[in-house]
A = this chain, B = another copy of it.
């Protein structure tokens, strides 16, 4: 499915995919003290979108989400969580689909698979920015990180999907200790705090944050990190909780 002719054949015919159901992924990474989201831009259009895809006929929903994310990031065993299903009857737009396909020189017959109604299952993925290798799919010419405050207008209801993902993430952050999935193996307390502040969108008092985190008993203190800065060197920490799959 890498060659253009194969691609055309694939999307012209109705492939063996589970009808009516799609997956959209809100894929978050953390870099330069900023939360970033991975977005696609379709070839020869101004349409931005969340990475997404469909479910193979014999594929578990969960597996499909992992497969889709692996194709966009190169990463396996990503931390992925379902957060909502978007099922409005009018969430799609046939013309948009046609323009996207036209951008790839693919003609859509009226009975094309994509022109059916789809509900979309939203997953959010928390990944280690340093390990991901974003790569566009066959229909898009870019797959890039965007700052959360610079998200462009997205296709269909994808902006709403993002909003709901962030809302859920904020709700679950303390409860499930999932923030660590966004950091590399080792990190300083300051990096962890910046992550929390960015996700929650509010400042936290440094000493209290440190007390809380250390009190959870989930951090292993490693050696000090000599940053080269003219001040006391911070410790590095490692997250002791189970690695999520």
Which A positions have Cβ atoms within 8 angstroms of B? 18-21, 55, 57-62, 82, 84-89, 117, 119, 121, 171, 175
| Inter-chain contact A119/B58, CB cutoff 8 Å | no
| Inter-chain contact B85/A117, CB cutoff 8 Å | no
Sample of 18 further A-B pairs with CB below 8 A, known A18-B117, A20-B21, A21-B119: A18-B20, A18-B119, A19-B20, A21-B21, A55-B119, A60-B87, A60-B88, A60-B89, A61-B85, A61-B86, A61-B87, A61-B88, A62-B87, A62-B88, A82-B84, A85-B121, A87-B121, A119-B121
| Inter-chain contact A61/B119, CB cutoff 8 Å | yes
Contacts of A86 in B (CB 8 A): 61
Tell me how many chains of this kind the complex includes. Answer: 2
The distance in angstroms between the C-alpha atoms of A230 and B198, with both chains bound, is: 57
Contacts of A21 in B (CB 8 A): 20-21, 119
Some 5 contacts from A to B, beta carbons below 8 A apart, are: A19-B19, A57-B117, A61-B87, A62-B88, A85-B85
Contacts of A58 in B (CB 8 A): 89
Closest residue to A63 on the B side, CB-wise?
Answer: B89
The distance in angstroms between the C-alpha atoms of A60 and B121, with both chains bound, is: 14
Contacts of A60 in B (CB 8 A): 87-89
Closest residue to A21 on the B side, CB-wise?
Answer: B20
The distance in angstroms between the C-alpha atoms of A82 and B168, with both chains bound, is: 13
The distance in angstroms between the C-alpha atoms of A195 and B53, with both chains bound, is: 42
Contacts of A117 in B (CB 8 A): 18, 57
Contacts of A175 in B (CB 8 A): 171
The distance in angstroms between the C-alpha atoms of A20 and B54, with both chains bound, is: 12
Option from B61, B62, B85, B171 in Cβ contact (under 8 Å) with A82: B85
Contacts of A119 in B (CB 8 A): 18, 21, 55, 61, 121
| Inter-chain contact A59/B89, CB cutoff 8 Å | yes
Contacts of A89 in B (CB 8 A): 58-60
The distance in angstroms between the C-alpha atoms of A117 and B21, with both chains bound, is: 11
